[in-house]
Amino acid sequence: MVKLYFLCCSYRTRLKDHGIIKLRIAGLDKQINHSTRICIPISDWDVKKVQVKARNPQCFVLNKQINDLRSNILGWIETRTKNNELISADLLKAHLNGESKETLGLLAMIQYYIDTNKVRLSVGTQKQYISIHAKMSRYFNNQLLVENPRKLTP
pLDDT mean over 85-97? 83
Q: What domain range is 24 assigned to?
A: 3-96
- DSSP for 27-69, please give it: SSSS-EEEEEEEEEEGGGEETTTTEE-TTSTTHHHHHHHHHHH
Q: Does a structural domain hold residue 101?
A: no
Q: Which class for 50: exposed (0-12), middle (13-18), buried (19 or more C-beta within 10 A)?
A: middle
Q: Do 85 and 126 fall within a single domain?
A: no
Are 57 and 38 members of one domain?
Answer: yes
Same-domain pairing of 65 and 16: yes
- Domain termination residue (choose one: 69, 96, 123): 96
Residue 75 lies in a domain: yes
Whether residue 92 is found in the same domain as residue 110: no
13 and 89 fall within a common domain: yes
Note the pLDDT of residue 99: 72
What pLDDT, on a 0 to 100 scale, did the predictor assign at position 154?
37
Domain boundary among 74, 96, 118: 96
Residue 11 has pLDDT above 80, yes or no: no
Residue 148 lies in a domain: yes
Are 29 and 84 contained in the same domain?
yes
Average pLDDT over residues 26-47: 88
Instruction: Name the band, by pLDDT with cuts 50, 70 and 90, for residue 153.
Output: very low
Task: Give per-residue pLDDT as tens, 45-58.
Answer: 998 998 999 998 99
> In total, how many domains does the chain have?
2
30 is a domain residue: yes
Are 20 and 75 contained in the same domain? yes
72 occurs within a structural domain:
yes
Q: Name the most confidently modeled range: 84-88, 90-94, 120-124, 141-145.
A: 120-124
